[in-house]
């Protein structure tokens, strides 16, 4: 395992702060924990594709955001776990257009059952109705955040001269 440099730690800290601020701002408009959850900070979950050092920052930003969650500690654990798995998986994606897929898949797998359980309290008809609704809204919200906003980041950041030396050459194609 490679050591993190001061630049890597700084990049991770900045990403964590930006993730939190974007989600906090989105919460003002009921986007972060709303009926269709479009976390603006989730656009940053594609960054580990270009910058593996951003992985801890994305995870920390998600954890800090989930402190605000109306679902409490379970969202802090499960939501942050979904983001951590997705960030590691994103680092391993072979092509840029697949980088947004892990956050969408992990959030679709782990979060709708958690929210459905919190809303229904048992596995019954209300649970399954809530599960299906949450599954649809998570996929839509994550797709907007990751494929629309995240793809803009993936295409724009390599053009910024400051970031070019930090991006592995294989990721620039």
pLDDT of residue 22: 96
Residues 107, 146 contacting (CB under 8 angstroms): no
Tell me the pLDDT tens digit for each residue of 78-123: 999 999 999 999 999 999 999 999 999 999 999 999 889 888 888 8
Residue carrying the six token digits 């897929």: 101
The CA distance from 14 to 60, in Å, is 11
The CA distance from 28 to 161, in Å, is 33
Residue carrying the six token digits 């229904």: 120
Tokens of 160: 């910024």
What does DSSP assign to residue 105?
H
Q: What is the mean pLDDT of residues 50-59?
A: 95
Secondary structure of residue 29 in the 3-state scheme: coil
Better-scored residue on pLDDT, 38 or 172:
38
pLDDT of residue 165: 85
Q: What is the mean pLDDT of residues 30-44?
A: 88
Distance linking the first and last C-alpha atoms of the chain: 25
């Amino acid at each position: 395992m490679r050591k993190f440099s001061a630049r890597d730690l700084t990049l991770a800290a900045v990403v964590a702060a930006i993730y939190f601020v974007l989600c906090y701002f989105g919460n003002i408009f009921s986007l972060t924990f709303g009926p269709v959850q479009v976390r603006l900070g989730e656009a940053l979950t594609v960054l580990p594709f270009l910058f593996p050092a951003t992985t801890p920052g994305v995870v920390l930003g998600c954890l800090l955001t989930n402190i605000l969650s109306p679902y409490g500690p379970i969202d802090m654990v499960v939501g942050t776990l979904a983001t951590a798995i997705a960030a590691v998986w994103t680092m391993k994606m072979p092509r840029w257009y697949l980088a947004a897929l892990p956050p969408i898949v992990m959030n679709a797998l782990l979060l709708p059952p958690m929210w459905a359980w919190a809303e229904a309290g048992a596995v019954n008809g209300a649970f399954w109705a809530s599960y299906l609704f949450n599954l649809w809204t998570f996929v839509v919200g994550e797709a907007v955040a990751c494929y629309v906003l995240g793809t803009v980041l993936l295409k724009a950041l390599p053009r910024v001269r400051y970031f070019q030396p930090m991006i592995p050459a294989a990721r620039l194609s």
